[in-house]
Protein backbone atom coordinates (compact mmCIF):
# COMPACT_ATOMS: atom_id res chain seq x y z
CA UNK A 1 0.00 0.00 0.00
CA UNK A 2 1.21 3.46 -0.83
CA UNK A 3 0.00 4.80 2.50
CA UNK A 4 -0.51 3.32 5.92
CA UNK A 5 -4.03 2.06 6.63
CA UNK A 6 -6.10 4.55 8.55
CA UNK A 7 -6.81 3.64 12.15
CA UNK A 8 -10.51 2.98 12.86
CA UNK A 9 -12.26 3.71 16.15
CA UNK A 10 -15.71 3.23 17.65
CA UNK A 11 -17.27 6.51 18.68
CA UNK A 12 -20.87 5.51 19.25
CA UNK A 13 -22.92 2.46 20.19
CA UNK A 14 -26.62 1.70 19.93
CA UNK A 15 -27.67 -1.68 21.31
CA UNK A 16 -31.31 -2.78 21.17
CA UNK A 17 -32.42 -6.00 22.83
CA UNK A 18 -34.79 -7.34 25.45
CA UNK A 19 -33.20 -5.01 27.99
CA UNK A 20 -34.42 -2.04 25.96
CA UNK A 21 -32.93 0.62 23.73
CA UNK A 22 -29.49 2.10 24.35
CA UNK A 23 -26.19 1.36 26.05
CA UNK A 24 -27.27 2.08 29.62
CA UNK A 25 -30.13 -0.42 29.70
CA UNK A 26 -28.00 -2.98 27.85
CA UNK A 27 -25.06 -2.73 30.21
CA UNK A 28 -27.15 -2.47 33.37
CA UNK A 29 -29.01 -5.60 32.32
CA UNK A 30 -25.85 -7.53 31.53
CA UNK A 31 -23.90 -6.50 34.61
CA UNK A 32 -26.82 -7.24 36.93
CA UNK A 33 -27.02 -10.80 35.63
CA UNK A 34 -30.63 -10.45 34.47
CA UNK A 35 -32.18 -12.26 31.51
CA UNK A 36 -34.84 -11.19 29.05
CA UNK A 37 -35.84 -14.77 28.23
CA UNK A 38 -39.50 -15.50 28.94
CA UNK A 39 -42.44 -17.35 27.37
CA UNK A 40 -43.37 -15.86 23.99
CA UNK A 41 -46.49 -13.69 24.28
CA UNK A 42 -46.71 -12.15 20.80
CA UNK A 43 -48.50 -15.27 19.54
CA UNK A 44 -49.35 -18.64 20.99
CA UNK A 45 -46.04 -20.47 20.52
CA UNK A 46 -46.81 -23.16 23.07
CA UNK A 47 -46.81 -25.98 20.51
CA UNK A 48 -43.16 -25.38 19.66
CA UNK A 49 -40.72 -27.46 21.73
CA UNK A 50 -39.05 -24.13 22.43
CA UNK A 51 -41.74 -21.57 23.23
CA UNK A 52 -39.56 -19.08 25.09
CA UNK A 53 -37.55 -16.20 23.65
CA UNK A 54 -35.87 -12.94 24.54
CA UNK A 55 -38.02 -10.19 23.10
CA UNK A 56 -38.51 -6.47 23.16
CA UNK A 57 -41.84 -5.24 24.48
CA UNK A 58 -43.91 -2.49 22.86
CA UNK A 59 -43.23 -0.31 25.90
CA UNK A 60 -39.49 -0.70 25.40
CA UNK A 61 -39.55 0.10 21.70
CA UNK A 62 -42.17 2.49 20.38
CA UNK A 63 -40.91 3.15 16.87
CA UNK A 64 -42.75 6.48 16.66
CA UNK A 65 -40.43 7.86 19.32
CA UNK A 66 -37.35 6.68 17.42
CA UNK A 67 -37.81 8.58 14.17
CA UNK A 68 -38.04 12.26 13.27
CA UNK A 69 -41.59 13.57 13.18
CA UNK A 70 -41.43 13.94 9.40
CA UNK A 71 -40.57 10.24 9.05
CA UNK A 72 -43.43 8.80 11.12
CA UNK A 73 -45.47 7.78 8.10
CA UNK A 74 -42.68 5.51 6.87
CA UNK A 75 -42.84 3.44 10.07
CA UNK A 76 -45.93 1.76 8.57
CA UNK A 77 -43.69 -0.18 6.19
CA UNK A 78 -41.14 -1.32 8.76
CA UNK A 79 -40.91 -4.99 9.68
CA UNK A 80 -39.75 -5.58 13.26
CA UNK A 81 -36.16 -6.09 12.04
CA UNK A 82 -36.23 -2.62 10.47
CA UNK A 83 -37.63 -1.01 13.62
CA UNK A 84 -34.78 -2.48 15.65
CA UNK A 85 -32.14 -1.20 13.20
CA UNK A 86 -33.71 2.26 13.11
CA UNK A 87 -33.81 2.47 16.93
CA UNK A 88 -30.23 1.18 17.17
CA UNK A 89 -29.01 3.76 14.67
CA UNK A 90 -30.73 6.57 16.57
CA UNK A 91 -29.06 5.46 19.79
CA UNK A 92 -25.66 5.07 18.12
CA UNK A 93 -25.75 8.46 16.45
CA UNK A 94 -26.74 10.11 19.74
CA UNK A 95 -23.99 8.23 21.56
CA UNK A 96 -21.41 9.43 19.03
CA UNK A 97 -22.59 13.01 19.43
CA UNK A 98 -23.31 13.35 15.73
CA UNK A 99 -25.71 15.82 14.22
CA UNK A 100 -27.47 14.26 11.23
CA UNK A 101 -30.62 14.97 9.25
CA UNK A 102 -32.24 12.52 11.68
CA UNK A 103 -31.19 14.28 14.86
CA UNK A 104 -31.72 17.85 13.72
CA UNK A 105 -33.27 18.41 10.31
CA UNK A 106 -32.01 21.57 8.68
CA UNK A 107 -28.91 21.79 10.87
CA UNK A 108 -25.51 21.28 9.25
CA UNK A 109 -24.42 17.66 9.75
CA UNK A 110 -21.27 16.93 11.75
CA UNK A 111 -19.88 14.86 8.89
CA UNK A 112 -20.56 15.46 5.19
CA UNK A 113 -23.26 12.94 4.11
CA UNK A 114 -21.19 11.62 1.18
CA UNK A 115 -18.49 10.58 3.66
CA UNK A 116 -20.84 8.51 5.82
CA UNK A 117 -21.49 4.87 4.91
CA UNK A 118 -23.81 2.21 6.31
CA UNK A 119 -23.20 -1.53 6.53
CA UNK A 120 -26.12 -3.20 8.24
CA UNK A 121 -26.53 -6.97 8.42
CA UNK A 122 -29.98 -8.47 8.08
CA UNK A 123 -31.71 -11.81 8.24
CA UNK A 124 -34.37 -13.48 6.15
CA UNK A 125 -37.24 -11.24 7.22
CA UNK A 126 -40.44 -13.16 7.80
CA UNK A 127 -43.66 -11.75 6.37
CA UNK A 128 -46.29 -10.98 8.99
CA UNK A 129 -48.62 -13.96 8.63
CA UNK A 130 -51.81 -12.37 9.89
CA UNK A 131 -51.56 -9.59 7.34
CA UNK A 132 -50.87 -12.10 4.57
CA UNK A 133 -53.50 -14.59 5.58
CA UNK A 134 -56.19 -11.93 5.85
CA UNK A 135 -55.49 -11.39 2.15
CA UNK A 136 -55.13 -15.10 1.27
CA UNK A 137 -58.58 -15.94 2.67
CA UNK A 138 -60.17 -13.76 0.01
CA UNK A 139 -58.97 -16.32 -2.56
CA UNK A 140 -60.13 -19.67 -1.30
CA UNK A 141 -61.87 -22.45 -3.20
CA UNK A 142 -64.94 -23.92 -1.55
CA UNK A 143 -62.86 -26.88 -0.36
CA UNK A 144 -60.58 -24.49 1.51
CA UNK A 145 -57.60 -24.67 -0.87
CA UNK A 146 -55.93 -21.60 -2.31
CA UNK A 147 -57.24 -20.22 -5.59
CA UNK A 148 -54.26 -18.82 -7.50
CA UNK A 149 -56.56 -17.56 -10.23
CA UNK A 150 -58.66 -15.53 -7.84
CA UNK A 151 -55.50 -14.24 -6.13
CA UNK A 152 -54.08 -13.00 -9.43
CA UNK A 153 -57.34 -11.39 -10.51
CA UNK A 154 -58.23 -9.59 -7.30
CA UNK A 155 -57.01 -11.25 -4.09
CA UNK A 156 -53.59 -9.66 -4.12
CA UNK A 157 -55.23 -6.22 -4.14
CA UNK A 158 -55.86 -6.78 -0.45
CA UNK A 159 -52.17 -6.33 0.25
CA UNK A 160 -50.90 -2.80 0.64
CA UNK A 161 -49.01 -1.70 -2.52
CA UNK A 162 -45.78 -1.31 -0.55
CA UNK A 163 -46.10 -4.75 1.06
CA UNK A 164 -42.83 -6.10 -0.40
CA UNK A 165 -40.82 -3.18 0.96
CA UNK A 166 -41.42 -4.27 4.54
CA UNK A 167 -39.48 -7.44 3.95
CA UNK A 168 -36.52 -6.70 1.69
CA UNK A 169 -33.38 -7.20 3.80
CA UNK A 170 -31.78 -4.02 2.45
CA UNK A 171 -34.61 -1.94 3.89
CA UNK A 172 -32.78 -1.80 7.24
CA UNK A 173 -29.96 0.14 5.60
CA UNK A 174 -32.43 1.97 3.35
CA UNK A 175 -34.38 3.52 6.23
CA UNK A 176 -31.27 4.23 8.29
CA UNK A 177 -29.47 5.92 5.38
CA UNK A 178 -32.52 8.05 4.59
CA UNK A 179 -33.11 9.09 8.21
CA UNK A 180 -29.48 10.02 8.86
CA UNK A 181 -28.59 11.02 5.29
CA UNK A 182 -25.72 8.56 4.82
CA UNK A 183 -24.83 8.75 1.12
CA UNK A 184 -21.53 6.87 1.23
CA UNK A 185 -20.85 3.15 0.64
CA UNK A 186 -23.77 1.08 1.81
CA UNK A 187 -24.35 -2.65 2.08
CA UNK A 188 -26.62 -5.33 3.49
CA UNK A 189 -24.85 -8.52 4.46
CA UNK A 190 -27.01 -11.58 5.05
CA UNK A 191 -24.94 -14.36 6.64
CA UNK A 192 -26.91 -15.41 9.71
CA UNK A 193 -25.24 -14.65 13.03
CA UNK A 194 -22.07 -13.47 11.28
CA UNK A 195 -23.87 -10.72 9.31
CA UNK A 196 -23.08 -7.88 11.71
CA UNK A 197 -19.45 -8.93 12.22
CA UNK A 198 -18.91 -9.00 8.45
CA UNK A 199 -20.59 -5.59 8.23
CA UNK A 200 -18.26 -4.15 10.86
CA UNK A 201 -15.32 -5.59 8.93
CA UNK A 202 -16.56 -4.03 5.72
CA UNK A 203 -17.06 -0.62 7.35
CA UNK A 204 -13.53 -0.88 8.70
CA UNK A 205 -12.17 -1.56 5.20
CA UNK A 206 -14.22 1.25 3.63
CA UNK A 207 -12.79 3.69 6.17
CA UNK A 208 -9.27 2.31 5.81
CA UNK A 209 -9.30 2.68 2.03
CA UNK A 210 -10.69 6.19 2.34
CA UNK A 211 -14.12 5.57 0.77
CA UNK A 212 -15.78 6.89 3.94
CA UNK A 213 -14.82 8.72 7.14
CA UNK A 214 -17.59 7.22 9.24
CA UNK A 215 -19.99 4.29 8.95
CA UNK A 216 -23.08 3.13 10.77
CA UNK A 217 -22.30 -0.51 11.13
CA UNK A 218 -23.95 -3.56 12.67
CA UNK A 219 -27.09 -5.57 12.14
CA UNK A 220 -30.54 -6.45 13.47
CA UNK A 221 -33.05 -9.24 13.31
CA UNK A 222 -36.15 -10.61 14.92
CA UNK A 223 -36.99 -14.28 14.64
CA UNK A 224 -39.73 -13.97 17.25
CA UNK A 225 -42.46 -14.88 14.79
CA UNK A 226 -43.87 -18.22 13.64
CA UNK A 227 -41.64 -18.65 10.56
CA UNK A 228 -38.51 -17.55 12.42
CA UNK A 229 -39.05 -19.99 15.27
CA UNK A 230 -40.05 -22.74 12.84
CA UNK A 231 -36.88 -22.51 10.73
CA UNK A 232 -34.60 -22.55 13.79
CA UNK A 233 -36.52 -25.53 15.12
CA UNK A 234 -36.06 -27.28 11.77
CA UNK A 235 -32.33 -26.50 11.91
CA UNK A 236 -32.20 -28.23 15.32
CA UNK A 237 -30.83 -25.12 16.99
CA UNK A 238 -33.47 -24.25 19.57
CA UNK A 239 -33.64 -25.98 22.95
CA UNK A 240 -36.36 -28.33 24.10
CA UNK A 241 -37.76 -26.42 27.04
CA UNK A 242 -39.28 -28.66 29.73
CA UNK A 243 -42.93 -28.09 30.57
CA UNK A 244 -43.30 -25.61 33.39
CA UNK A 245 -39.89 -24.02 32.82
CA UNK A 246 -39.81 -20.27 32.31
CA UNK A 247 -36.76 -20.76 30.09
CA UNK A 248 -34.42 -18.58 32.12
CA UNK A 249 -32.05 -21.45 32.94
CA UNK A 250 -32.18 -23.19 29.55
CA UNK A 251 -29.29 -21.56 27.68
CA UNK A 252 -26.04 -23.03 29.00
CA UNK A 253 -23.15 -22.12 26.71
CA UNK A 254 -20.19 -24.48 26.54
CA UNK A 255 -21.71 -27.03 28.89
CA UNK A 256 -21.70 -30.68 27.85
CA UNK A 257 -25.45 -31.12 28.21
CA UNK A 258 -26.55 -27.85 26.57
CA UNK A 259 -29.97 -28.51 25.01
CA UNK A 260 -29.70 -25.75 22.42
CA UNK A 261 -30.28 -22.06 22.04
CA UNK A 262 -33.11 -19.64 22.69
CA UNK A 263 -33.85 -16.98 20.12
CA UNK A 264 -33.75 -13.30 20.80
CA UNK A 265 -34.69 -10.22 18.88
CA UNK A 266 -32.28 -7.37 18.80
CA UNK A 267 -29.42 -5.72 17.09
CA UNK A 268 -26.93 -2.97 17.34
CA UNK A 269 -25.34 -0.21 15.38
CA UNK A 270 -21.83 1.07 16.04
CA UNK A 271 -20.47 4.33 14.70
CA UNK A 272 -17.06 3.57 13.25
CA UNK A 273 -14.84 6.48 12.29
CA UNK A 274 -11.38 7.14 11.03
CA UNK A 275 -9.37 7.98 14.16
CA UNK A 276 -8.00 11.14 12.60
CA UNK A 277 -11.37 12.61 11.58
CA UNK A 278 -12.97 11.52 14.87
CA UNK A 279 -10.29 13.32 16.89
CA UNK A 280 -10.50 16.33 14.61
CA UNK A 281 -14.17 16.76 15.51
CA UNK A 282 -13.38 16.27 19.18
CA UNK A 283 -14.99 12.86 19.56
CA UNK A 284 -13.74 10.58 22.32
CA UNK A 285 -13.25 7.06 20.98
CA UNK A 286 -14.76 4.25 23.06
CA UNK A 287 -12.48 1.60 21.55
CA UNK A 288 -10.33 0.89 18.53
CA UNK A 289 -11.19 -1.64 15.81
CA UNK A 290 -7.79 -3.27 15.65
CA UNK A 291 -8.26 -6.35 13.47
CA UNK A 292 -10.73 -8.35 11.42
CA UNK A 293 -10.83 -11.62 9.48
CA UNK A 294 -13.45 -13.94 7.98
CA UNK A 295 -13.70 -17.41 6.54
CA UNK A 296 -15.86 -20.38 5.69
CA UNK A 297 -15.78 -23.54 7.79
CA UNK A 298 -15.63 -27.16 6.83
CA UNK A 299 -19.08 -28.50 7.73
CA UNK A 300 -20.25 -32.05 8.36
CA UNK A 301 -23.34 -31.45 6.23
CA UNK A 302 -23.69 -29.28 3.14
CA UNK A 303 -25.85 -26.63 4.80
CA UNK A 304 -23.65 -26.03 7.81
CA UNK A 305 -26.26 -27.22 10.31
CA UNK A 306 -23.68 -29.44 12.02
CA UNK A 307 -20.68 -27.26 12.80
CA UNK A 308 -18.77 -29.82 14.84
CA UNK A 309 -15.98 -30.07 12.24
CA UNK A 310 -15.48 -26.29 12.05
CA UNK A 311 -13.02 -25.78 14.93
CA UNK A 312 -9.86 -25.66 12.82
CA UNK A 313 -11.30 -23.11 10.44
CA UNK A 314 -12.64 -20.95 13.28
CA UNK A 315 -9.15 -21.02 14.81
CA UNK A 316 -7.60 -19.96 11.50
CA UNK A 317 -9.93 -16.95 11.29
CA UNK A 318 -9.22 -15.97 14.90
CA UNK A 319 -5.47 -16.13 14.22
CA UNK A 320 -5.89 -14.08 11.05
CA UNK A 321 -7.76 -11.37 12.98
CA UNK A 322 -4.98 -11.27 15.57
CA UNK A 323 -2.43 -10.98 12.77
CA UNK A 324 -4.46 -8.15 11.21
CA UNK A 325 -4.37 -6.40 14.61
CA UNK A 326 -0.65 -7.13 14.80
CA UNK A 327 -0.93 -8.65 18.25
CA UNK A 328 -0.14 -12.08 19.65
CA UNK A 329 -2.72 -14.38 21.25
CA UNK A 330 -1.14 -13.56 24.62
CA UNK A 331 -2.47 -10.03 24.40
CA UNK A 332 -6.15 -11.01 24.32
CA UNK A 333 -7.77 -10.38 27.71
CA UNK A 334 -11.45 -11.12 26.97
CA UNK A 335 -13.38 -13.11 24.36
CA UNK A 336 -16.99 -12.59 23.29
CA UNK A 337 -17.94 -15.79 21.45
CA UNK A 338 -21.31 -16.44 19.83
CA UNK A 339 -21.82 -18.93 22.68
CA UNK A 340 -25.24 -19.89 21.42
CA UNK A 341 -25.32 -23.09 23.50
CA UNK A 342 -25.87 -25.08 20.30
CA UNK A 343 -23.64 -28.11 20.90
CA UNK A 344 -21.89 -28.28 17.51
CA UNK A 345 -21.41 -24.52 17.30
CA UNK A 346 -20.12 -24.30 20.89
CA UNK A 347 -17.78 -27.21 20.24
CA UNK A 348 -16.24 -25.46 17.21
CA UNK A 349 -15.74 -22.26 19.20
CA UNK A 350 -14.28 -24.13 22.17
CA UNK A 351 -11.87 -26.06 19.96
CA UNK A 352 -10.73 -22.85 18.25
CA UNK A 353 -10.16 -21.02 21.55
CA UNK A 354 -8.18 -23.97 22.93
CA UNK A 355 -6.12 -24.20 19.75
CA UNK A 356 -5.29 -20.49 19.53
CA UNK A 357 -4.75 -19.72 23.22
CA UNK A 358 -3.39 -23.07 24.41
CA UNK A 359 -2.83 -23.26 28.15
CA UNK A 360 -4.17 -19.71 28.65
CA UNK A 361 -7.58 -20.62 27.21
CA UNK A 362 -9.13 -21.64 30.53
CA UNK A 363 -8.16 -18.35 32.15
CA UNK A 364 -9.42 -15.87 29.55
CA UNK A 365 -12.86 -14.65 30.63
CA UNK A 366 -15.66 -15.14 28.13
CA UNK A 367 -18.62 -12.80 27.90
CA UNK A 368 -21.63 -14.99 27.14
CA UNK A 369 -24.64 -12.99 25.99
CA UNK A 370 -27.16 -15.56 24.80
CA UNK A 371 -28.32 -16.63 28.30
CA UNK A 372 -29.26 -12.99 28.88
CA UNK A 373 -30.51 -11.66 25.52
CA UNK A 374 -31.04 -14.78 23.40
CA UNK A 375 -29.45 -15.50 20.04
CA UNK A 376 -30.28 -12.38 18.06
CA UNK A 377 -29.36 -13.74 14.61
CA UNK A 378 -28.09 -11.04 12.26
CA UNK A 379 -27.96 -8.67 15.25
CA UNK A 380 -25.97 -11.05 17.46
CA UNK A 381 -22.44 -10.08 16.52
CA UNK A 382 -23.28 -6.36 16.67
CA UNK A 383 -24.43 -6.80 20.26
CA UNK A 384 -21.30 -8.88 20.93
CA UNK A 385 -19.09 -6.11 19.53
CA UNK A 386 -20.93 -3.51 21.62
CA UNK A 387 -20.44 -5.65 24.75
CA UNK A 388 -16.73 -5.79 23.91
CA UNK A 389 -16.58 -2.02 23.48
CA UNK A 390 -18.32 -1.46 26.82
CA UNK A 391 -16.03 -3.98 28.53
CA UNK A 392 -12.92 -2.19 27.25
CA UNK A 393 -14.32 1.23 27.97
CA UNK A 394 -15.54 0.49 31.50
CA UNK A 395 -12.86 -2.13 32.28
CA UNK A 396 -15.66 -4.37 33.49
CA UNK A 397 -16.85 -7.83 32.58
CA UNK A 398 -20.61 -8.26 32.87
CA UNK A 399 -22.20 -11.05 34.85
CA UNK A 400 -22.61 -14.50 33.33
CA UNK A 401 -25.59 -16.82 33.76
CA UNK A 402 -26.12 -20.55 33.52
CA UNK A 403 -22.64 -21.63 32.47
CA UNK A 404 -21.89 -23.86 35.46
CA UNK A 405 -20.26 -26.99 34.22
CA UNK A 406 -18.76 -25.19 31.20
CA UNK A 407 -15.86 -27.31 30.12
CA UNK A 408 -12.30 -26.09 29.54
CA UNK A 409 -13.26 -22.42 29.37
CA UNK A 410 -13.93 -19.55 31.78
CA UNK A 411 -17.64 -19.40 30.99
CA UNK A 412 -19.37 -20.40 34.22
CA UNK A 413 -21.94 -18.32 36.06
CA UNK A 414 -20.24 -15.37 37.71
CA UNK A 415 -21.05 -11.88 38.89
CA UNK A 416 -19.82 -8.81 37.10
CA UNK A 417 -16.24 -7.88 37.91
CA UNK A 418 -13.72 -5.21 37.05
CA UNK A 419 -10.20 -5.82 35.80
CA UNK A 420 -7.63 -4.62 33.34
CA UNK A 421 -8.57 -5.37 29.74
CA UNK A 422 -6.63 -4.16 26.72
CA UNK A 423 -7.79 -6.36 23.83
CA UNK A 424 -11.03 -8.23 23.28
CA UNK A 425 -11.76 -10.77 20.54
CA UNK A 426 -15.31 -11.10 19.18
CA UNK A 427 -16.06 -14.40 17.49
CA UNK A 428 -19.06 -15.29 15.39
CA UNK A 429 -20.21 -18.42 13.58
CA UNK A 430 -23.35 -18.95 11.50
CA UNK A 431 -25.78 -21.60 10.47
CA UNK A 432 -24.34 -22.03 6.96
CA UNK A 433 -20.68 -22.05 8.01
CA UNK A 434 -19.51 -18.43 7.83
CA UNK A 435 -17.11 -17.30 10.53
CA UNK A 436 -15.67 -13.91 11.44
CA UNK A 437 -13.50 -12.48 14.19
CA UNK A 438 -13.00 -8.87 15.25
CA UNK A 439 -10.27 -7.64 17.57
CA UNK A 440 -11.17 -4.53 19.54
CA UNK A 441 -8.58 -2.62 21.54
CA UNK A 442 -8.81 -0.20 24.41
CA UNK A 443 -8.29 3.27 23.05
CA UNK A 444 -5.49 4.88 25.01
Partner 1 sequence: MSPPRIVVTGMGWITPLGHDLDTVWKRLVTSSSGMAKTTRFSAGTFPTSFSAEVRDYDVAKFVADPSAHASAGLNSQFALGAAAQAWKQAGLDRSCARDMRRVGMYLGAGEGVLDSDNFVAVNLASWDAGAGKTQGKVWIREALARMSALREIEQEPNMPLAHLAREFGIRGPSYNCLTACAASTQAIGEAVDILRRGDTDVMLAGGTHTMIHLLGVTGFNRLTALSTSGSDPTTASRPFSADRDGFVMGEGSGMVILETLDHARARGAKPLAEVTGYGSSADAFRITDIQPDGRGAAAAMLGALRQAGIDPHVMRGANRGPIDYISAHGTGTKENDSIETRAVKRVFGEGARNIPMSSIKSMMGHLIAAAGAVEFISCVLSIERGMLLPTINLNKPDPALDLDYVPNHARPAQIDICLSNSFGFGGQNDTVVIRRFEE
Which range in 17-25, 162-170, 256-264, 396-404 contacts partner 1 by CB under 8 A? 162-170
Binds partner 1 by CB under 8 A, chosen from 99, 170, 245, 416: 170
Site for partner 1 in 345-384 (CB under 8 A): none
Which range in 83-91, 113-121, 327-335, 383-391 contacts partner 1 by CB under 8 A? 113-121
CB neighbours of 275 closer than 8 A, spacing ≥ 6? 6, 7, 8, 9, 285, 288
Binds partner 1 by CB under 8 A, chosen from 53, 299, 318, 438: 299
Residue 400 phi/psi, 5° resolution?
-120, 145
Class of residue 364 by CB neighbours under 10 A (exposed 0-12, middle 13-18, buried 19+): middle
> Of 185 and 403, which has the nearer Cβ to partner 1?
185
Instruction: Give least dist CB 255 to partner 1, A.
Output: 25
Binds partner 1 by CB under 8 A, chosen from 72, 105, 132, 360: 132
Is 224 near partner 1 (CB under 8 A)? no
What is the distance, to the nearest Å, from the Cα of residue 108 to the centroid of all Cα atoms in its chain? 31
Rounded Cα distance between 215 and 109, Å, is 14
Rounded Cα distance between 381 and 384, Å, is 5
Is 6 near partner 1 (CB under 8 A)? no
Binds partner 1 by CB under 8 A, chosen from 20, 192, 218, 268: 192
Instruction: Give least dist CB 221 to partner 1, A.
Output: 12
Binds partner 1 by CB under 8 A, chosen from 22, 267, 295, 371: 295
8-state DSSP, 202: H
Is 144 near partner 1 (CB under 8 A)? yes
Site for partner 1 in 401-420 (CB under 8 A): none
> Of 150 and 308, which has the nearer Cβ to partner 1?
150
Binds partner 1 by CB under 8 A, chosen from 431, 437, 438, 440: 431
Rounded Cα distance between 241 and 237, Å, is 12
Rounded Cα distance between 439 and 328, Å, is 11
Is 293 near partner 1 (CB under 8 A)? yes
Is 258 near partner 1 (CB under 8 A)? no
Binds partner 1 by CB under 8 A, chosen from 234, 326, 415, 417: 234
Instruction: Give least dist CB 351 to partner 1, A.
Output: 16
8-state DSSP, 420: -
> Of 255 and 430, which has the nearer Cβ to partner 1?
430
> Of 52 and 316, which has the nearer Cβ to partner 1?
316
Is 239 near partner 1 (CB under 8 A)? no
**Which of 23, 134, 19 has the alpha carbon at shortest distance from 373?**
19
Instruction: Give least dist CB 148 to partner 1, A.
Output: 4
Query: Contacts by 224-227 with C-beta closer than 8 Å and gap 24+?
Result: 224/40, 224/42, 224/53, 224/55, 224/80, 224/263, 224/264, 224/265, 225/42, 225/43, 225/80, 225/126, 225/128, 225/129, 226/43, 226/45, 226/126, 226/129, 227/126, 227/127, 227/129
The length of the chain in residues reads: 444
Binds partner 1 by CB under 8 A, chosen from 151, 281, 354, 416: 151
**Which of 415, 56, 402 has the alpha carbon at shortest distance from 254?**
402
Instruction: Give least dist CB 411 to partner 1, A.
Output: 27
Is 182 near partner 1 (CB under 8 A)? yes
Is 220 near partner 1 (CB under 8 A)? no
Reduce the DSSP state of residue 47 to 3 states and report it: coil
Is 316 near partner 1 (CB under 8 A)? yes
Residue 36 phi/psi, 5° resolution?
-95, 0
Is 122 near partner 1 (CB under 8 A)? yes
Instruction: Give least dist CB 19 to partner 1, A.
Output: 26
Angstrom distances, CA of residue 62 to CA of 90, 91, 175, 307, 420: 13, 13, 16, 37, 38
- Residues near partner 1 (CB under 8 A), total: 95
Is 202 near partner 1 (CB under 8 A)? yes
Is 103 near partner 1 (CB under 8 A)? no
Amino acid sequence: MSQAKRSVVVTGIGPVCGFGVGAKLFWDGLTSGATCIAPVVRFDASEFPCSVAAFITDEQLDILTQVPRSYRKATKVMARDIEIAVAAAAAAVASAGLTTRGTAEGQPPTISPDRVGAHIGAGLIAAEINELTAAFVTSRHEDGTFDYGQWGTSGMQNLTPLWLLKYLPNMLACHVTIIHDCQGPSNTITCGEVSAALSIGESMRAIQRGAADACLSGGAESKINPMGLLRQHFAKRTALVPAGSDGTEVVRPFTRDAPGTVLGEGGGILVLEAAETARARGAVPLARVAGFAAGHCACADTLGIDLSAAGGDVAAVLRAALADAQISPDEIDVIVPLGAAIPSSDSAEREAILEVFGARAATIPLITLVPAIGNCGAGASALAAIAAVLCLHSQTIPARRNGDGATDLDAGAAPSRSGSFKYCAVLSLSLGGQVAAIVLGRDS
